[in-house]
Amino acid sequence: METNGNWQADMNVVRRIEFMLDREGFDHHRWQLVGMPDANRYAIRNRPRTLGFDVLVGPTGDLAVHYLVRDGTEHEDAVAASIGEALQLGRVIDPVTQ
């Protein structure tokens, strides 16, 4: 999994996220890990960036969907049980991804 920015990722977290993606049928090579060290969590986004949202991964592996909407505002919403559920939630709420 590729990372963006100049920051050091915890490799245990990276491997856990890669495993989670692969287990659910999403090739982790098509995703980018984005550091959010101030928030003690990571965001993952697909490459090329075709989704209008990021999936946030907390330190305990909890998932949330972070919406990036057309008017420039950001909304964090909907805790998800899986990457697939997070993607479905994002597609339902953000029509940009349709």
Would you say the pTM of this structure is higher than 0.75? no
Cross-strand pairs, 55:
44, 65
Tokens of 33: 């890990």
For 22-58, how does the pLDDT look when each residue is reduced to its tens digit (9 = 90+)? 888 878 888 887 766 555 667 777 765 555 567 777 7
Most confident of 5-9, 59-63, 89-93: 59-63
Distance CA 96, CA 98 (A): 6
